[in-house]
Structure 1
Amino acid sequence: MMLIILLFVCFSYFLLLVCLIVGFRKLPETKFKKTPSQTNFSVIIPFRDEATHLPNLLASIAALNYPESNVSFWFIDDDSQDDSCTIIEELSKKHAIQNVHLLQNKRQSNSPKKDAIVTAISHLKNNWIVTTDADCMLPENWLHMLNQKIVLEQPKMIAAPVTYVEEMSFFKYYQLLDFLSLQGTTIGSFGIKIPFLCNGANLAYQKDAFLDVDGFSGNDTLASGDDVFLLEKFVQKFPDEVVYLKSKDALVKTYAVSTWKAFISQRVRWASKSANYTLYTGKIIGIIVMLMNLLFCVLPLFLFGVFSWKVIVLIVVSKIVLDSVLLLQTLQFTQQKIKPFFIFISGITYPYLTIFIFIKSLFSSYQWKNRTFKK
């Protein structure tokens, strides 16, 4: 029985990875084209105590290659205690950024970010909403690429890529690999037409469609998940009109956290929403991945006469190789450095950290923006 369970988990995981790798390659990369700027965008940026990152964000907004008359920027202040609001006002004037609006968040639920988005939406006239984060930097042709996708394919929602600013330390590079494993999975899942992940730092959707699926209703008790839960609603309501913009010109960059404590808290926050997924594809894939990581962690126990060491080595090597292939594809797409030794060490340590974070997410609260959120 033990052998059957092991083989089933391994087969399911390896088949999943192969499908994601194929799906990643199958999804075509969108190239820059000269497309009329037909779409009017409202960019929503919730923030809380982001004085450190806002100057870089505002500089990237000033450099955007898109008609100013076709875009408005909505900064939603979630009770900041620093100079964030002053920085937005001063740098908007300095960079001559037009159509900047600064609003105070209206708290209605357990999710500050969802409340911020809803607060902004109540003021919007444009039908296309784009969300990003205050600690991001936007590529020059970001809105142009979104407009291009809208003009050519007429979707209801567009998910797009995000990566970390690359830094040299192993800790920061580990976070990059961990983050890109999610990005690679996201791209691969769209490639095989079973999307179940996206990132709210680079997400666009129609306001009318948002209202049609009743927005965040049903999951606003959860602090996290403004992106994935909304994606699930769109996939259920508009299965053929949710697309992925696989383009280097649309790649948004953000920052890794500085401490292990912050990293664990961030990942616990991300993991805490997984139990509330509504799409069975997301739940099944999550279970397969978690079981494989758990199996990886306990494999050394099987050395004592249960399985041949050759079988164990084969499983370990196969997992690391397939994980690495998906990571390498994603690193090549984001045009970031490939560090084989760091990738190997990360492949060994990743399952243990993942299981620890998953277990912690089941029982523990987490810190986010100097607030404590309970399970």
Structure 2
Amino acid sequence: MLFVHLKLANVTVEEVPDVVKAPISVVICARNEINNLEKYLPSIFNQNYPEFEVVVVNDRSWDGTEELLEKLEKQYTNLKVVKILDNDKFIAGKKFAVTMGIKAAKHDWLVFTDADCVPESDNWLMCMQQPVYEETEIVLGYSPYLKKRSLLNALIRFETFFTAVNYLSFALKGMPYMGVGRNMAYKKSLFFKNKGFAAHMHIPSGDDDLFVNAHANRNNTEIRINKESQVWSEPNTSWAGYLRQKKRHFGAGKFYKPKHKFILTLQIIFQFLFYAVFAACMFFSLEAKYVAGGILLLSIIVKSLIYPKLLNRLNYRDLRWWFPILDILLFFFLILNGFLSIFGKKKVNWK
């Protein structure tokens, strides 16, 4: 909290650039997303950016996505549609769809989002464009989930918040370890220089975080947290769907670099030990109870000084009064998810 997350809370938020550096290719992969494309894709074309194309990869859809994209091609001259057909000899996944989108893109700077996402503002591409420093090859953005009235939604948004705080903070500390495909950017040349997803093509997930984990470093990575750079996304509305999503993420995390796995594992272990020791102290002497209670209170005070500011910065201001409770609930949920990921069914698909 004090040596990593506090850095993100205190960093100066970047302004929206007023100069355009280079043209952009926006890459979106869609599988049976007709409703989301119809609802959200126009917001991409309405971006305040002079030269960009939108590459939509239609990945074997059968819900009318193809017909919708054909209609939109007539309406938007900068829309390019890539169609993936069913192939009995090859089982395609999202990484294959992303690769096809990247190959079709005509510009070197690629910005990624999903079909169920909508930018916070018309300046999203201005914020996510190629940075001034040419050595920057990766930009990590942030994508909050839309608010719904349910405990599941609060937990999803809180988990997304802490995930973002972690990967954005570590990137600021010079140790980028992941990004989120709903809002990130990198160079096409970086992708092909490192043979794309070849090293982990066999893993269903990880088109975003595994690529960043393998190729991001302190010199080639920047972050964007300006509110106008953020992209909102539709959250899961069922516990089963959310568990499947987290299972995919858990599977990819096993292939992170050893130092990143070590740090992330330590975070979970120490959080577990913190609550376990606190519970154990309740069965000891009165003095032990006072000490444990004091340490718990101190941790809450420190969190209250750091996380409300971050919740405001990352568009989750409404959760600031609930974070002590959600923090505990999230911890137990992650333990449950880890258990289910290890002992549950192994096969996971992206759609």
TM-score, structure 2 length as denominator? 0.88
2: CA distance, partners of 1:51 / 1:79: 12
Please show how residues 1-375 of structure 1 align to structure 2 within 5 Å: 17-35=1-19, 37-67=20-50, 70-93=51-74, 96-105=75-84, 112-138=93-119, 139-147=121-129, 150-151=131-132, 154-235=135-216, 239-280=218-259, 282-296=260-274, 298-299=276-277, 300-301=279-280, 303-305=282-284, 308-323=288-303, 325-365=305-345
Equivalent position SS for 2:205? coil
Equivalent position SS for 2:177? coil
1: CA distance, partners of 2:253 / 2:91: 17
Alpha-carbon contact 1:320-1:347 (below 8 Å) kept: no
1: CA distance, partners of 2:289 / 2:67: 62
Deviation at 1:346, TM superposition (A): 0.8
Change (3 A) 1:322 1:194: farther
2: CA distance, partners of 1:359 / 1:179: 20
2: CA distance, partners of 1:118 / 1:144: 24
Deviation at 1:125, TM superposition (A): 2.4
Equivalent position SS for 1:194? coil
Higher mean C-alpha displacement, 158-167 vs 322-331: 322-331
Deviation at 1:21, TM superposition (A): 2.4
Equivalent position SS for 2:32? coil
Equivalent position SS for 1:308? helix
2: CA distance, partners of 1:87 / 1:323: 47
- Aligned residue identity for 2:144: T
Change (3 A) 1:55 1:192: same
2: CA distance, partners of 1:339 / 1:207: 37
1: CA distance, partners of 2:325 / 2:98: 39
- Aligned residue identity for 2:336: F
Equivalent position SS for 1:137? strand
Alpha-carbon contact 1:112-1:223 (below 8 Å) kept: yes
Alpha-carbon contact 2:142-2:164 (below 8 Å) kept: yes
Deviation at 1:214, TM superposition (A): 1.9
Deviation at 1:303, TM superposition (A): 3.3
Deviation at 1:41, TM superposition (A): 1.3
1: CA distance, partners of 2:350 / 2:108: 33
Alpha-carbon contact 2:128-2:224 (below 8 Å) kept: yes
Equivalent position SS for 1:64? coil
Alpha-carbon contact 1:53-1:135 (below 8 Å) kept: yes
In structure 1, stretches of 5+ residues that fail to align are: 1-16
Alpha-carbon contact 2:140-2:223 (below 8 Å) kept: yes
Change (3 A) 1:302 1:51: farther
2: CA distance, partners of 1:185 / 1:355: 18
TM-score, structure 1 length as denominator? 0.83
In structure 2, stretches of 5+ residues that fail to align are: none
Equivalent position SS for 1:74? strand
Alpha-carbon contact 1:297-1:351 (below 8 Å) kept: no
Equivalent position SS for 1:310? helix
Alpha-carbon contact 1:27-1:187 (below 8 Å) kept: no
Deviations 1:279-301 (A, max 9, x none): 51x21221112213432553435
1: CA distance, partners of 2:211 / 2:244: 23
Deviation at 1:158, TM superposition (A): 0.9
Change (3 A) 1:119 1:63: same
Deviation at 1:317, TM superposition (A): 3.9
